[in-house]
Chains A and B, each alone.
Chain A
């Protein structure tokens, strides 16, 4: 992403007129980071944006999951489907974010739907690949045992194949989530809200504190999400860490 660009006007320095807050010395002189301005404006500027950002991400990953999940299970049963869906999702993944948003705006307009369509399309490749790899990695012997014991193919999928694919699926969800949190900042470009909004504001105004705070919050959000997902993964796959000690 082209977040390197705004550094130039910022580095150029010089006093600017921020459009938030009063006139603390730190803010007027546009220091690197004004802690008091950040705390004073957290609830109005950042709080709602964080919530929006989480919503944007959760919806994108959730919808992406639903699509990739269906496609992966279908491809697992009908292997011919793997190549076309892989190519399709790789094609989407390959389009630069700004270009994709521009393109979508022509069709669906400047709104959150457009942003979500874009974000979902970036999750598909990772989620689909990981899910399919996870399902294919289930040991043949385990599946044979399930069949021989009289599991129906649906019971085998739900009780054996999907649980065993969970580590790979969760790995995919982690990558997709972190990627989406980062990409969602760009979605502010087409009016999706979220932490991208103060970033774009700061680019325009050159207000360093706002730029660093919103960027830092996006990074913190990504790390937090990743940590929570790791904890979730450990909680739902207790068997994967318990091995014979020799």
Chain B
């Protein structure tokens, strides 16, 4: 997780996107779909737009590549207004992934991935190399899959191809509109993980629209909550869960936001206690970068109140107590003393 691999696919630098008082009004409708939206997406981050349906999140996303026109205000990419860029040029520099996937059913996977490179005039061999490279990157097999047609793949695989296609010309920006929304839960989870890994290797500035708060928490470096065309709160997942700006945000992120917060924090955020005595070693162990949520569920499943934390080779480097985790669920209480106060010894000695 920590080491950043420099991938040969990394060619363009991620770009900064800035919304500046953006308004979208549709003729014949009183209320603007997007009202005075201003925020910045920093280069290389995944910024999630979330909110109830009709909140304007997809409209906001589609104004970046001007699939929807901007009524007032401006959006800039690295300081350049999207309104001034030539439309096709703007779009060829922005990867676009959406729920309906929209692969070209009459073209092979190779030609699908090569669509934008072909518009840009790449040579055939360069397109083929790029398509193989990307297919490998998204977890498909270049040997067998390049010459197949989209109809021969499952929904999850098709969206992998969709992601590869969006990244083909190495755009500095990717727009993702509920990309995994129509995919079954197991495949969705794998796609999310793979995309995070991919994003770690090949940094892009990503705007990611979803209506699923758990997905937002998992994917977003920062999360922008929208309502009725307004931006309500823009914060990291941890911040959002700990300090929701108002009642709406609090209810939107869910009553169990304390529990959800455990997903975004790892054991490395906590001070560890000394490892358990060797006699207790038959308990499960967790790694240092494990999420608190996972550590908690391990403890609950095992019926223990303290669990050993190990390094990559499995050597214990400390332990963590149940209370150190559960007290984070109630963020109102002071966190100080978490690792100081001594609880009773582990009750269960199985």
Contact = CB atoms under 8 A, between A and B. Distances in A.
Contact of B119 (A149, A238, A239, A240): A149
Contacts of B88: 150-152
Interface size class of B (residues with CB under 8 A): 20 to 34
Contacts of A245: 152
Nearest to A148: B96
B164 interface: no
A244 interface: yes
Nearest to A144: B102
A150 B90 contact: yes
A245 B152 CA distance: 7
Given A141-B102, A239-B107, A149 B67 contact: no
B331 interface: no
Interface string A137-148: 001111111111
A141 B106 contact: no
Interface-centre pick from A139, A149, A240 (highest chain B CB count, 10 A): A149
Nearest to B108: A239
A125 interface: no
A163 interface: yes
Interface string A221-239: 0000000000000000111
A242 interface: yes
A163 B115 CA distance: 15
Interface residues of A, number: 27
A152 to B, nearest CB: 6
B153 interface: yes
B318 to A, nearest CB: 49
Interface-centre pick from B90, B106, B152 (highest chain A CB count, 10 A): B106
Given A163-B106, A243-B151, A144 B91 contact: no
A242 B90 CA distance: 34
Contacts of A186: none
19 contacts: A139-B100, A144-B98, A144-B100, A144-B102, A145-B104, A146-B102, A148-B98, A148-B175, A149-B92, A149-B116, A150-B92, A150-B116, A150-B119, A151-B88, A151-B115, A163-B106, A164-B106, A237-B106, A245-B152
Given A139-B100, A146-B102, A148-B98, 17 more contacts: A142-B103, A142-B104, A142-B105, A148-B65, A148-B67, A148-B96, A148-B175, A149-B119, A149-B165, A150-B89, A151-B115, A164-B104, A164-B105, A239-B105, A239-B107, A239-B151, A243-B151
Interface of A: 139-152, 155, 160, 163-164, 166, 237-240, 242-245
5 residue pairs, one from A and one from B, having the closest CB atoms: A145-B102, A141-B100, A150-B91, A150-B92, A141-B102
